[in-house]
Structure 1
Amino acid sequence: MEIFDRYQSASSINQQIAVKKAELAAIDKKEEQKSTFEKTDTVNIGDKNYDENDYQRVLEKFKRVDSQTRAHEQQHASLGDTKGAISYNYQTGPDGKLYVTGGHVRLDTSLPQDEDAALAKLEKLSKSAGAPSELSSADASIARAANLNKMLILSRQEEQGVNDANNKQQ
């Protein structure tokens, strides 16, 4: 009876992990669609009310967003296992140059069967997703899901330790 309970418990945990993976995939898809539709300030140079201060303000905003976005995505990529290169969204600035206005990196969320290896990978995933100071909703969701999965595995290991101790006493 106890062996059956263990398999049922492991099956339940694996099912919960599969649900979390599906949720992460849905979040990734939403973030990708959202970043496609992001808008930023532009200056209409043909406008008669064109002002050099407006031009400089918008240009500086493009440069700042470009720099922040690149740093943000590179932090994710440097701390985690990725599934490909960083993908950036570009927009033409008022000076005619392309600037990064959004981006994403696909983190490897697959988990090995070995629980200790899975815990190590979840810790790395949590650090990678939560690294930048300004988290997107996808970043926060991935970090939260990784932490929840770590807690599930640790509780399962703790439960197994208690069952093993009980079996030795009998």
Structure 2
Amino acid sequence: MTISDSQNTTQLQFKLTQKLGELDSVAKKEIQSNFVKNDFIDISNEGKYDKNDYQRVLDKFKSSDSEIRTHEQAHAASGHTTTPISYKYQTGPDGNLYAVGGEVRLDTSIPSDPKAAAFKLSQIQESATAPSALSSADAQISIQANLNKMLLLSKGEENAS
């Protein structure tokens, strides 16, 4: 290898490094220009929504919040809960939080005494069906408690005979 070959190699490497730097610079500019173009939200025109729609949505949030709170409080009123009421919230159009779901954990432990167990299953069923409008989970709990109570009673009849 001669001196001119090493100079040519060095010059070639230098030019490649320059081109890579230029390409990197172009790529960064392209990313920035795409970011600016794609991530712009026009909020200058406030008249794009109808005030009646805003009020309708807000009323729906308030109504749903009230129904959910009443529903969960009806469950909790039975006194057979293991935890306080837990609500799921969503932010409404006015920035306030509104309940959009909730749950109450019932004490589902069953005593070993058949009469006490039947009484406890009746209480669970009553707690699940306490609200006037049942959710699918409420109905499922009530059905399961009723089935368990019937199973318990049928076992008691078998043992008596």
State TM-score, norm by structure 2: 0.69
Percent of residue pairs identical: 60
Q: Give the superposition deviation at 1:133.
A: 2.3
- Give yes or no for the alignment of 1:78 onto 2:77: yes
Residue 107 of structure 1 aligns to a residue in which SS? coil
CA distance in 1, matches of 2:80, 2:108: 8
Residue 77 of structure 2 aligns to a residue in which SS? helix
More relative contact order, 1 or 2 (CA 8 Å, 6+ apart): 1
CA distance in 2, matches of 1:88, 1:157: 40
Counterpart residue number, 1:118: 117
Runs of 4+ in 1 over 6 A off after TM superposition: none
CA distance in 1, matches of 2:46, 2:140: 43
Counterpart residue number, 2:90: 91
- Give yes or no for the alignment of 1:144 onto 2:143: yes
Counterpart residue number, 2:100: 101
CA distance in 2, matches of 1:107, 1:47: 48
Alignment RMSD (CA, Å): 1.6
The answer as to whether partners of 1:80 and 1:125 remain within 8 angstroms in 2 is no
The answer as to whether partners of 1:119 and 1:153 remain within 8 angstroms in 2 is yes
Give structure 2 stretches of 5+ with no counterpart: 1-42
State TM-score, norm by structure 1: 0.65
Residue 79 of structure 1 aligns to a residue in which SS? coil
Q: Give the superposition deviation at 1:83.
A: 1.3
CA distance in 2, matches of 1:151, 1:132: 23
Q: Give the superposition deviation at 1:49.
A: 2.1
Q: Give the superposition deviation at 1:134.
A: 2.0
Structure 1 counterpart of 2:51, which letter?
Answer: E
